[in-house]
Amino acid sequence: MLSDRITVQLPESGGDTLKKAKWIDLGVFWANVRHLSGAETLRSGADTSTVRASIRMWYRPEIGASARVVHGSVTYEVKSPPLRNVDRRFMDLVCESIK
């Protein structure tokens, strides 16, 4: 079930904003990365592509909405607080990557 390797990163304390923050690795974890949708739009005259994903992993209390996830060459921003499943062993991260 959890067959993808991901790296979870947290913003270092004292960063100006999440976009300019320095990131520290929390660790490498097993997860299940599912792509929900992809969309291409035009922003400020440049093509952009947005990929939404749901990432299921073992529950880790230190991972919140300020985290980001690196899977291969793609970096995803966590868009909402993690959702815990019924048996409270796993959590689902709602993520988005914009290129």
| Per-residue pLDDT tens digits for 51-68 | 899 999 999 989 999 999
Burial 45-83, CB ≥16 within 10 A → b, else e: eeeeeebbbebbbeeeeebeeebbbbbeeebbbbeeebe
For residue 88, list its beta bridge partners: none
Task: Check residue 16 and give left, alpha or beta (phi > 0: left; psi -120 to 50: alpha).
Answer: alpha
Q: Which of 65, 57, 41, 53 is nearest to 5 (CA)?
A: 57
pLDDT of residue 43: 55
Kindly report the pTM of this predicted structure.
0.79
Query: Band of the pLDDT at 92, cuts 50, 70, 90?
Result: very high
Report pLDDT digits (tens) over 3-15: 999 999 999 875 5
The CATH architecture to which 4-98 belongs is Beta Barrel (2.40)
Cβ 64 vs Cβ 77: under 8 Å = no
What is the average pLDDT value for the chain, to the nearest integer? 84
